């Protein structure tokens, strides 16, 4: 149970990294609960029910941990709560200058505490029609130039874009490695696990790939595959795809 609670806390911290914002939400909710009694049933009580469900370790264990937990917090109308509370405070204030001060303070607070989402750290300009990263485009083009229906093992974080780029590439795993869609076999789950490690178990990865006919394996250059492994399983480093090496085996 302690482990489940710690997992939940980590998700909450990722979704609400700023404690000031959480405090503002709580203050807004308390204000509406006290001053807008007519809206308790339509706003406050439903939020309480949602929180009881989301913050319940039993429900989390049985259902929510199989999906991205932070998405559950989308059901909490935090922006609406804050906006409604500020609007009502301004409406109740009598002198115009006080209304103006509250409005300007609220706007400044949003600007100062907010994050500009359209920055270079979060967004990059994509040139291809499929809207995937340059690395994914290069890897996929390299593989498809050699085989029209390749079977491939690729690093974590690239499989969604690879599927989006071209559905002809058969991937060993995709989002099912994260618990979505369908269950992945234990062997493939281990391959996915080892591919994420700083020092992957290439002996296991290439053994499964050879047995199941996966003729392409893509690895980060900083995790280059030892030559003895390639020789043992009949794979060659066939292409340089940006930050990745592409390995091919008959």
Q: Give the pLDDT band (50/70/90) at residue 218.
A: very high
Q: Give the pLDDT band (50/70/90) at residue 65.
A: low
- Give the residue with greater pLDDT, 69 vs 33: 33
The domain ranges of the chain are 2-113, 134-249
Whole-number Å distance between alpha carbons of 105 and 101: 6
Residues 6+ positions from 84 with CB-CB distance below 8 Å:
28, 32, 36, 43
Q: For the whole model, what pTM was predicted?
A: 0.63
Q: Give helix 186-196 / helix 202-212 axis angle, nearest 10°.
A: 140
Q: Using a pLDDT cut of 70, give the percent of the chain over it.
A: 92
**Distance from the Cα of residue 147 to its chain's centroid:** 31
Whole-number Å distance between alpha carbons of 64 and 70: 10
What digits encode the pLDDT tens for the residues 71-109? 788 888 988 999 999 999 999 988 899 999 999 998 888
Q: Of 233, 169, 250, whose CA–CA distance to 225 is shortest?
A: 233
What digits encode the pLDDT tens for the residues 171-216? 999 878 777 767 888 999 999 999 989 899 999 999 999 999 999 9
* Whether residue 62 has pLDDT greater than 80: no
Q: Where are the alpha helices (DSSP H) in 16-158?
A: 19-35, 45-54, 57-62, 78-92, 96-113, 134-146
Whole-number Å distance between alpha carbons of 148 and 126: 24
Q: Give the pLDDT band (50/70/90) at residue 66.
A: low
């Amino acid at each position: 149970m302690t482990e489940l609670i710690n997992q939940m806390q980590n998700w909450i911290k990722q979704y609400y990294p700023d404690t000031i914002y959480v405090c503002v939400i709580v203050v807004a909710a308390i204000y509406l609960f006290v001053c807008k009694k007519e809206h308790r049933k339509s706003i406050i009580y439903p939020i309480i029910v949602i929180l009881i469900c989301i913050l319940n370790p039993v429900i989390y264990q049985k259902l929510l941990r199989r999906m991205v937990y932070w998405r559950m917090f989308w059901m909490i109308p935090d922006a609406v709560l804050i906006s409604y509370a500020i609007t009502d405070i301004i409406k109740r204030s009598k002198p115009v200058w006080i209304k103006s001060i509250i409005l300007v303070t609220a706007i400044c607070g949003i600007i100062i505490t907010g994050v500009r989402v359209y920055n270079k750290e979060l967004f990059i300009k994509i040139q291809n029609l499929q809207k995937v990263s340059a690395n994914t485009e290069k890897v996929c083009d390299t593989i498809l130039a050699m085989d029209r229906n390749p079977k491939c093992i690729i690093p974590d974080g690239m499989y969604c874009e690879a599927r989006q780029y071209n559905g002809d590439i058969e991937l060993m795993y995709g989002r099912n490695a994260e618990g979505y869609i369908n269950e992945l076999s234990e062997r493939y789950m281990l391959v996915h696990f080892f591919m994420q490690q700083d020092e992957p178990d290439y002996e296991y990865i290439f053994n499964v790939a050879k047995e199941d006919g996966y003729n392409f394996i893509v690895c980060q250059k900083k995790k280059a595959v030892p030559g003895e492994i390639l020789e043992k399983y009949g794979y060659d480093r066939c292409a340089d795809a940006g930050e990745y090496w592409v390995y091919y085996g008959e």
